[in-house]
Structure 1
Amino acid sequence: MVQSVITRVVEVASGRFASGHLGELTQIVPFEMVDEVLASAGRVQVRVRDLPSRVVVYLLLAAGLFSELGYGQVWARLVAGLGGADGLGVAVAMPTSSALSQARRRVGVEPLRALFGLLSGPAVGAPRWRGLLLCAIDGTTLSVPNGDKNVSAYGRHRAGPNGDAGYPMLRLLAVVACGTRTIIDAVFGPCDVGETTYAPRLAGCLRQGMLLLADRNFAVKDLIEAVAATGAGLLIRCKDNRRLRPTGHCGDGSWLARIGTVTVRVIEAEIVVRCTGGPDRAARYRLLTTLTDHHRYPATDLVELYHQRWEIETTYLELKSTILGGRVLRARTPDGITQEIYALLVTYQALRTAIADAALTQPATPPNRGSFTIALHTARDQIIHAAGVIANTTIDLVGTIGHAVLTALLPARRARTSPRIVKRASSKHRATATTDRNNYNTTITVRILDG
């Protein structure tokens, strides 16, 4: 019988720090960066334990990739590729769940918050439109474990006559770079606080050279003034019946108005969606923008551009469905929830950065054709094998994750429409109403309505 021997060399940190890694993503979140945030927060261990602070940070980040597992099982995957004492000089620690819990509390929130601050921002090569970095702002909700502390901190949704929602919920609001879907900044807190209340806290991440896309919920005077004060541009939808007094007219059918101290350009358009084999649909849009030069930024182009706002909806889909799988977060205290969310945002940002770096090597390939699911599962494999932890002398922007993504690119986005309906209802009984659930290829026509 012919036998073959496969030899694999694992390069990780030395000694008791060996378990602290994120597989190939460690090159995006390197040891030096983690050590820096720990030192700045005063969370470096006094003595070298079986669970040094750096190792605990990587445990929290890895837990963001294995959301279906408890911390003990996440730890098992961190050490699976280390082979015990094989060549490492030390035995791999096997901490109890209590020890892991104490270690997470010892590290606290600040190092994870600082780590997100270092990694957040648009990826290198983020697509631009006429020199402007496209960004989108929107909010979503996440469920947190039931318990008095979480209920007190976040509250519950009122669910009408049938009682309150089963789990407390928090609200997450983010600014995302369209195209790469990297997170520029994020805030979160109790769900009973509205999106427009959280939004001003994100104004600090905006600057000249950005164009922020937002839905009708954000078309409030104070927020428009806050965005304009940063120098960033704004393209936002507002209600069709909002009363605005024209102060000037542009040659492309748009017109000028004042909202507070800001001059905005109002674009009213009729959008007709013609479906192949299905019913045609028409809708009327009213957009507000601070880009008042109609020669440089034609109205029709801005109406078509506004669709890019849906990139942030895909970001939340990747966070809540692909990573979390619709699950409730783990932590049973508000501090633990804060720590867990920052760890989740860091791991998401690392994955999206890996995809964007890979896309840089193929200029004709937009980053949004990279499969987030493939990147996630490849990163999990790299953690289990403790592979690619330390970069080689020759830096490879692509790496194993990037190669997996580039080998199975998503098809170019098609012009098609799908009804906004519940695809999987909470009831097991068949709905009585007849609903067209088909997707249709579309042709979209935009007609600017003269103001």
Structure 2
Amino acid sequence: MIKVAAGVFAPGHVGELTQHVPFEMVDAALAEAGLGKSRVREVPARVVVYLLLAGALFAEVGYRQVWDKLVAALDGVPVANPTSGVLAQARQRMGPAPLRALFDLVRGPGPAPRTRGRWWRGLLVCAIDGTSAAVPASAANLAEYTPHRCNHGGSGYPKLRLLVLVCCGTRTVIDAIFGPTGVGEMPYAKRLVASLRPSMVVLLDRAFGAADLIEAIAQARAYLVVRVKDNRKLPVIQRLPDGSYLSVIGQLRVRVVECQIHVQTTAGRATTMYRLVTTLIEHHHYPAFDLVRLYHERWEVETAFLELKSTILGGRVLRARTPAGVRQEVYALLVTYQAIRLAMADATDTQPDLDPDRACFTTALSAARDLVVQAANAITGAVIDLVGAIGRRVLANLMPERRTRRAPRIVKRAISKYNAKGPNIDRKTYQATISIDILVPQSP
């Protein structure tokens, strides 16, 4: 038997994901945004929130078709039959504030304490990085978002910049900030520092090696490992037994690890120089070699971007044609992504020896979409099923153990029929063997 809310609230669900975004949480977000006592309309505010979340699951169709999916399994339940215009007015009337409040309620590393890869030597492994997303080229959006310059000299879609703080073990989003690309990544990254905690170690790419950001993270009492440019001047103050050395950035005492990473494939051998700066000073507890291996976990944030932009959105442009609508849609996308990730984390956490990297996000997304159409498990019962239908499908379709591979870093639009950087780029992914050499600096 399908259990749903009564009357006009019946379409308010996202299938089994409703367990992670329950009615009470949505109502609390609406109340925080000042919409808790608004009159009940043909499409109530709570239902509009779930419509937006379901819209993130079905990026390929319009909101009227999303509505059809929400009510597909509600035969015998009297529900509204709103037009596209009515749904558009409801979304506009709501604005982005409730979705922002809902994101604040669901964001975080997730309740999966045993997840492999989440903790490293007692520290929660996180990463900060940024990406961009395309928005419609409407007049309203063009007033706030800058068009992307194309290779042929013209302009493409306007872009927004999105920065996230991700838990690497579960790829759940701890915090996110976004806005126009006219603002660089560094100002956005500084706003994420408020979400850091002393039990975290944050992994950062070279773009985030600025002294003021490093000092801000240290002041938040979180630890960091950041890659810096090879030619950056870092004085050798003291050499340490593991090959690393102590130095300073501004007034902050740091430790530097220099290494060479060799990647061997059937196509040849490549060597890359890595220079890592960390506030983990104690070399006895945090050896240089282990820090280099830890830094590889930074790529989990890149995989999260892949899941958001390619797996969920399918490489498509966002729908909203106003800046307020864009903010509303992005928060809905983040909440929906987080709910799927929480369902996956609950499932993999039931098997402590299971590497969460083997859980397939595409499988979880497909299951979530099916359960929306079926209106399945929309309300949790007295006994909460931590695995659920999504988790069972994920556990039944685990991916093989992750292999060490090397692939070219090129831009690939999921729905483009054109090659990204010319026809002569080798796009083959090779199995690889990686070796690491710690480089010992000269004596101070």
Q: Which amino acid aligns with 2:360?
A: S
The residue number in structure 2 matching 1:381 is 370
Q: Pick from 4, 10, 15 the counterpart of residue 2 of structure 2.
A: 10
* 1:297-312 superposed matches below 5 A: 297-312=286-301
Q: What secondary structure is seen at the aligned counterpart in 2 of 1:156?
A: strand
Distance 1:248 1:375, change over 3 A: same
Q: Pick from 419, 439, 442 the counterpart of residue 408 of structure 2.
A: 419
Query: Which of structures 1 and 2 has the bigger CA Rg?
Result: 1
Matched, 1:68 2:51: no
**Residue 148 (structure 1) shift:** 1.5
The residue number in structure 2 matching 1:140 is 131
Q: What secondary structure is seen at the aligned counterpart in 1 of 2:337?
A: helix
**Residue 392 (structure 1) shift:** 2.4
Counterpart contact for 2:128–2:166, Cα < 8 Å? yes
Q: Which amino acid aligns with 1:25?
A: L
Partners of 2:421 and 2:359 in 1: CA distance: 36
Q: Pick from 364, 378, 402 the counterpart of residue 391 of structure 2.
A: 402
1:62-93 CA deviation, whole Å, 9 max, x = no partner? Answer: 1010011100000000000101xx1x4xx211
Q: What secondary structure is seen at the aligned counterpart in 1 of 2:307?
A: helix
Matched, 1:259 2:268: no
1:101-123 CA deviation, whole Å, 9 max, x = no partner? Answer: 11112221111001000100101
**Residue 367 (structure 1) shift:** 2.0
Matched, 1:200 2:190: yes
Counterpart contact for 1:212–1:232, Cα < 8 Å? yes
Q: Pick from 259, 267, 270 the counterpart of residue 281 of structure 1.
A: 270
* 1:155-194 superposed matches below 5 A: 155-159=146-150, 162-164=153-155, 166-194=156-184
Distance 1:431 1:221, change over 3 A: closer
Q: Pick from 229, 234, 238 the counterpart of residue 244 of structure 1.
A: 234
Counterpart contact for 2:357–2:402, Cα < 8 Å? no
Q: What secondary structure is seen at the aligned counterpart in 2 of 1:35?
A: helix
Distance 1:405 1:254, change over 3 A: same
Distance 1:229 1:73, change over 3 A: same
Counterpart contact for 1:181–1:368, Cα < 8 Å? no
Counterpart contact for 1:43–1:106, Cα < 8 Å? no
1:254-302 CA deviation, whole Å, 9 max, x = no partner? Answer: 1111111211101000111222x33011111100000010010000011
Q: Which amino acid aligns with 1:311?
A: E
Q: Which amino acid aligns with 2:345?
A: A
Matched, 1:109 2:101: no
How many pairs does the alignment contain?
A: 435
Counterpart contact for 1:144–1:329, Cα < 8 Å? yes
Q: Percent identity?
A: 56
**Residue 160 (structure 1) shift:** 6.3
Partners of 1:152 and 1:390 in 2: CA distance: 42
Q: Pick from 337, 343, 346 the counterpart of residue 357 of structure 1.
A: 346
Q: Which amino acid aligns with 2:154?
A: G
Counterpart contact for 2:205–2:226, Cα < 8 Å? yes
Distance 1:429 1:397, change over 3 A: closer
The residue number in structure 2 matching 1:78 is 70
The residue number in structure 2 matching 1:346 is 335
Q: Which amino acid aligns with 2:139?
A: D
Q: What secondary structure is seen at the aligned counterpart in 1 of 2:157?
A: coil
**Residue 415 (structure 1) shift:** 1.4
Q: What secondary structure is seen at the aligned counterpart in 2 of 1:280?
A: strand
Counterpart contact for 2:176–2:192, Cα < 8 Å? yes
Partners of 1:350 and 1:428 in 2: CA distance: 34
Partners of 1:428 and 1:314 in 2: CA distance: 21
Partners of 1:15 and 1:286 in 2: CA distance: 61
1:233-256 CA deviation, whole Å, 9 max, x = no partner? Answer: 100100011111122221111111
Q: Pick from 364, 367, 382 the counterpart of residue 393 of structure 1.
A: 382
The residue number in structure 1 matching 2:211 is 221
Partners of 1:385 and 1:307 in 2: CA distance: 40
Q: Pick from 145, 168, 182 the counterpart of residue 154 of structure 1.
A: 145
Q: Which amino acid aligns with 2:120?
A: W
**Residue 342 (structure 1) shift:** 0.3
Counterpart contact for 1:268–1:450, Cα < 8 Å? yes
Matched, 1:92 2:79: yes
Partners of 2:361 and 2:417 in 1: CA distance: 27
Partners of 1:367 and 1:50 in 2: CA distance: 42
Partners of 1:100 and 1:45 in 2: CA distance: 20
Q: Which amino acid aligns with 1:206?
A: L
Output the TM-score relative to the length of structure 1: 0.93
Partners of 1:111 and 1:194 in 2: CA distance: 27
Distance 1:102 1:421, change over 3 A: closer
Greater shift after overlay, 40-49 or 367-376? 40-49
1:5-33 CA deviation, whole Å, 9 max, x = no partner? Answer: xxxx1100111111101100001000001
Distance 1:183 1:422, change over 3 A: closer
Tell me how large the CA RMSD over aligned residues is.
1.7
Partners of 2:349 and 2:210 in 1: CA distance: 37
Distance 1:364 1:120, change over 3 A: same
Distance 1:128 1:429, change over 3 A: closer
